[in-house]
Amino acid sequence: MQDSLKSSSYQQLEQKSKYTNMFLRWFLYFTLILFASYFIFPLYVMVVTSLKTMEEIRQGTLLSWPSGINLESWAVAWGGRGYGAGDTFLRPYFWNSIKMVVPAVFFSTFIGAMTGYVLTKWRFKGDQWVFLFLLFGCFIPFQAILLPMARTLGVLGISNSVVGLVLVHTVYGIPFTTLFFRNYYVSVPTELVKAARIDGAGFFKIFFKILLPISAPIIVVTVIWQFTQIWNDFLFGSTFSFGEAAPIQVALNNMVLSSTSVKEYNVDMASAIIAGIPTLIVYVLAGKYFIRGLTSGAVKG
Amino acid sequence: MKTLKIEELSKNFGSTEVLRKINLEIDEGNFLVLLGPSGCGKSTLLNIIAGLETINEGNVFIDDYNVSKVEPKDRNIAMVFQSYALYPSMNVRENMIFGLKQAKTSKEKIEEQLEKVSKFLQVDQLLERKPSQLSGGQRQRVAIGRALVREPRIFLFDEPLSNLDAKLRVEMRREIKKLHQQLKTTVVYVTHDQTEAMSLGTRIAIMNHGVIQQNDTPENIYNKPSNTFVADFIGSPSMNLIKGTLKETSGEISFTASGSNVEIPIKDYEFKDKSNLNNKEVYFGLRPEHIYFKKSNESDFEINLRADLSEYIGHEQIMTFDYANQEILAKFPSTVKIELAKETKLYFDLTQTSLFDAQIEERI
């Protein structure tokens, strides 16, 4: 008697927890979908608008589907309309940005790796202070250094040039890259360096042969970080360059804001997407390593 | 000619004194173990011998040549580390020949050495593997191999077995012992494990607070500890140190524990200095394994003590007795039954005693 009573109440409880679980699961998916659409929505509007003609934009709503795949606005954004003065398009500035990003990412990553190596494996008196001041560079508001930097670039004779922007981005990237590499190398046993020294390897050989080959995860993290920062930078680009030497973000701004006639939303949207594509590609290609690298410093081995 | 000689060596890290006036000598072919609790400076000393740490004062000689300011690679030494420190990006072959390549050794010589050593250590099947694909024991072998191929004058081992599990540790310990017997190369070996030290070393230097407490053969370290630190550090459980006073009556010396009236005669003990022994405050040292439940020597001293505690550990048991309010431990086979809270007849083996000055805690 008692047993059957017990088992029936268990059945009730089981039934109840089943409904609760089901409800929670639906609630979870509902929330996830809601947030996902919230993030996807602007991208949808951008892509759809860029594929429409101006006529369609004027007549339809923001969300309406384009009549067909119309790539004309993309062509205009990339290569212009072909008539002379006042025609701003992204192609030359895109290459400016590439010419700026590639060396700046390379140098800042390399120098950061080297500095991180010295700060962890060749400790010297006062090294914590050096690191502290480098960290300071991470928190300095960049507006504060615009004037002195402009002066420096002027003295060096590289203002309003891609070379000047490479220098600026390298210098202000070093605090971050150093922080990344230092934290990574701290977890690499110093005994490796000791063993290599006994084996007769010197400062550079230890770095290139022993440490750099095991740094792939943190290199990926640093490259993604630096690439995104430098590619998306607007402040330095707009301050230290104008006209033909400007990087893509500055050109995008000029294009969108300076058009005197009708606002061409489809061209603006296409331009914005073009300006964002490289960082997207870098994330898709290396995103897996990005997550792995960010956590690999924490877990040894 | 001494293979390794350390002279008046001192080392500070900032204001912390890590090593204080260390003097040490090793003859060719010896196996010296530096043994001590963590933080005693033994690893620093090893790093100094390797040239990985600078010296504040004193000198290091290898083959009578002052190497105090010589780079690690030119000291003719090789080192095996606790974490093995195998280069993760290189396979076993590259790991083992890295040093030879740095030293610009000829290709034929490198191949010859690699083949010889990898066969000897039975890692010749693993040459193409990465360190991450090896087990702990295999990594240890490769690390030793990397040291061996360089044919150094001195091997330095920095707690090489600490990362292995208990079973493998005992196996590798035997292998290192065999290795030393076959190669007869001079070894300096750092450990905090006294069993390792005892079984491997031909000499043991016990260190504490940056000072060498005793540098002697394993037998002397065990039987004739030079101070209470060594007596307490070596042995498990460690030596019983019973506080009391010596009494000298007409040439006969005896020991009385404080709070007790039993006089233990001290015969045949090799005093360093026989003067002023009367009324001297001392520690009477006797190892737990030298207390018997059955008379086995003619000279054994019979005493009645109350058993307080019994710890059973399989092959043996550790009994705690009360001796005039001082705890005394004794080690018996686990087959012996001793009733707790009752006086039991015990026998002290007086040939195995040590006496220490209670003030300066040195052997007398």
The residue whose two tokens read 């230290």 is A240
Residue A97 has pLDDT above 90, yes or no: yes
Provide, rounded to the nearest whole percent, the portion of chain B with pLDDT above 70.
100
> And the tokens for A135?
């960290």
The CA distance from A215 to the nearest CA of chain B, in Å, is 10
Residue A84 has pLDDT above 80, yes or no: no
In chain A, which residues touch B (CB < 8 A)? 189, 191-192, 194-201, 205, 209-210, 213-214
Cβ neighbours of A201 in B, within 8 Å: 98, 102
Q: Residues B9-35: what's their mean pLDDT? A: 93
**H or E element in which residue B252 lies:** strand B252-257
Nearest by CB to residue B78, choosing from A192, A198, A210, is A198
The CA distance from B86 to the nearest CA of chain A, in Å, is 7
Cβ neighbours of B81 in A, within 8 Å: 191, 194-195
Cβ neighbours of A195 in B, within 8 Å: 79, 81, 85, 87, 146
Residue B8 burial (CB count, 10 A): 11
Instruction: Determine, for residues B98 and A196 on separate chains, whether the beta-carbon distance falls below 8 Å.
Output: yes
pLDDT of residue A298: 40
Q: pLDDT of B246-272, one tens digit each?
A: 998 888 899 999 888 889 998 888 888
Instruction: Determine, for residues A198 and B50 on separate chains, whether the beta-carbon distance falls below 8 Å.
Output: yes
Element counts in chain A: helices (H) and strands (E):
13, 0
Distance CA B84, CA A195 (A): 9
Entry pTM: 0.82
Nearest by CB to residue A198, choosing from B77, B82, B87, is B77
Cβ neighbours of B103 in A, within 8 Å: 200
C-alpha neighbours within 13 Å on the C-beta side of residue A225: 25
Cβ neighbours of A189 in B, within 8 Å: 83, 85
One-letter amino acid identity for A71? L
At B97, give phi and psi (nearest 5°): -100, 0
Cβ neighbours of A209 in B, within 8 Å: 87, 89
Instruction: Determine, for residues B85 and A192 on separate chains, whether the beta-carbon distance falls below 8 Å.
Output: yes
Domain locations in chain B as residue ranges: 4-228, 240-357
Q: Where are the alpha helices (DSSP H) in B121-213?
A: 136-148, 166-183, 194-200
Distance CA A221, CA A114 (A): 16
Q: pLDDT of B184-211, one tens digit each?
A: 999 999 999 999 999 999 999 999 999 9
The CA distance from A218 to the nearest CA of chain B, in Å, is 15
Residue B110 has pLDDT above 70, yes or no: yes
From A140-149, A154-163, B266-275, the region with the lowest mean pLDDT: B266-275
**Cβ proximity of B97 and B114 under 8 Å:** yes
What superfamily does domain B4-228 belong to in CATH? Answer: P-loop containing nucleotide triphosphate hydrolases (3.40.50.300)
Question: What does pLDDT average to over chain B?
Answer: 92
Q: Residues B55-59: what's their mean pLDDT? A: 93
Does domain B240-357 fall under CATH 3.90.470.10? My reply is: no
Instruction: Determine, for residues A210 and B77 on separate chains, whether the beta-carbon distance falls below 8 Å.
Output: no
Core vs surface per residue B294-319: b (16+ CB within 10 A) or e: eeeeeebbebebebeeeeeeeebbbb
Question: What does pLDDT average to over chain A?
Answer: 87
From A240-249, B122-131, B225-234, the region with the lowest mean pLDDT: A240-249
ipTM: 0.84
One-letter amino acid identity for A164? G
Query: Is B133 touching A (CB cutoff 8 A)?
Result: no
Query: Is B120 touching A (CB cutoff 8 A)?
Result: no
> And the tokens for B216?
């002697």
**Cβ proximity of A272 and A77 under 8 Å:** no
Instruction: Determine, for residues B47 and A194 on separate chains, whether the beta-carbon distance falls below 8 Å.
Output: yes
The residue whose two tokens read 């400016």 is A96
Instruction: Determine, for residues B85 and A210 on separate chains, whether the beta-carbon distance falls below 8 Å.
Output: no
**Angle, in degrees to the nearest 10, between helices A127-139 and A91-121:** 150
**Cβ proximity of A89 and A79 under 8 Å:** yes
- Closest CA in chain B for residue A210: B87
A259 phi-psi bin (left φ>0, alpha ψ -120 to 50, beta other)? beta
**Cβ proximity of B273 and B355 under 8 Å:** no
Pairing of strands B211-216, B354-357: unpaired
Residue A125 burial (CB count, 10 A): 7
Report CA B74 to chain centroid distance, whole Å: 29
B4-228 and B240-357 share one CATH topology?
no
Residue B19 has pLDDT above 80, yes or no: yes
The CA distance from B341 to the nearest CA of chain A, in Å, is 52
Instruction: Determine, for residues A198 and B72 on separate chains, whether the beta-carbon distance falls below 8 Å.
Output: yes
Residue A287 has pLDDT above 90, yes or no: no
**Angle, in degrees to the nearest 10, between helices B42-50 and A191-198:** 30
Distance CA A181, CA A222 (A): 8
Who contacts A193 (Cβ-Cβ below 8 Å, separation ≥6)? A121, A206, A210
Q: Best interface-test mutation with B: which of A194, A199, A204, A211 has the largest number of B CBs within 10 A?
A: A199
CATH 1.10.3720.10 domain position(s) in chain A: 91-296
**Cβ proximity of B359 and B349 under 8 Å:** no
Distance CA B88, CA B95 (A): 9
Cβ neighbours of B99 in A, within 8 Å: 198-200
User: For the CA atoms of A70, A74, A76, A78, what is the dihedral angle to 10 degrees?
Assistant: -160
**Cβ proximity of A223 and A293 under 8 Å:** no
DSSP-derived secondary structure for A202-252:
-HHHIIIIIIGGG-HHHHHHHHHHHHHHHHH--HHHHHH--GGG--HHHHH
**H or E element in which residue B102 lies:** helix B92-102
The CA distance from B145 to the nearest CA of chain A, in Å, is 13
Planar angle of CA B68, B70, B75, nearest 5 degrees: 100
- Closest CA in chain B for residue A207: B87
**Cβ proximity of B331 and B274 under 8 Å:** no
Residue A29 has pLDDT above 90, yes or no: yes
Query: Is B73 touching A (CB cutoff 8 A)?
Result: yes
Higher pLDDT, B313 or A301: B313
The percent of chain B in helix, strand and coil, each rounded to the nearest 5, is: 25, 35, 40
- Would you call the peptide bond into B218 cis, given omega within 30 degrees of 0 as the criterion? no
A78 phi-psi bin (left φ>0, alpha ψ -120 to 50, beta other)? alpha
Nearest by CB to residue A194, choosing from B52, B89, B150, is B52
Q: Residues B340-361: what's their mean pLDDT? A: 92
pLDDT of residue A1: 53
For CA atoms B352, B355, B361, B364, the dihedral sign is negative
Instruction: Determine, for residues A199 and B89 on separate chains, whether the beta-carbon distance falls below 8 Å.
Output: no
Residue A259 has pLDDT above 70, yes or no: no
Residue A175 has pLDDT above 80, yes or no: yes
**Cβ proximity of B248 and B331 under 8 Å:** no
CATH, range A91-296 = 1.10.3720.10
Distance CA B172, CA B194 (A): 16
Q: Tell me how far CA of residue B19 lies from CA of A177, B52, B66, B326, in angstroms.
A: 38, 15, 19, 35
Instruction: Determine, for residues A210 and B87 on separate chains, whether the beta-carbon distance falls below 8 Å.
Output: yes
Confidence of residue A2 (pLDDT cuts 50, 70, 90): low
- Closest CA in chain B for residue A191: B85
Per DSSP, the three-state class of A37 is: helix
Q: pLDDT of A35-72, one tens digit each?
A: 999 999 999 999 999 998 888 888 888 888 888 888 88
Instruction: Determine, for residues B102 and A195 on separate chains, whether the beta-carbon distance falls below 8 Å.
Output: no
Nearest by CB to residue A200, choosing from B47, B81, B102, is B102
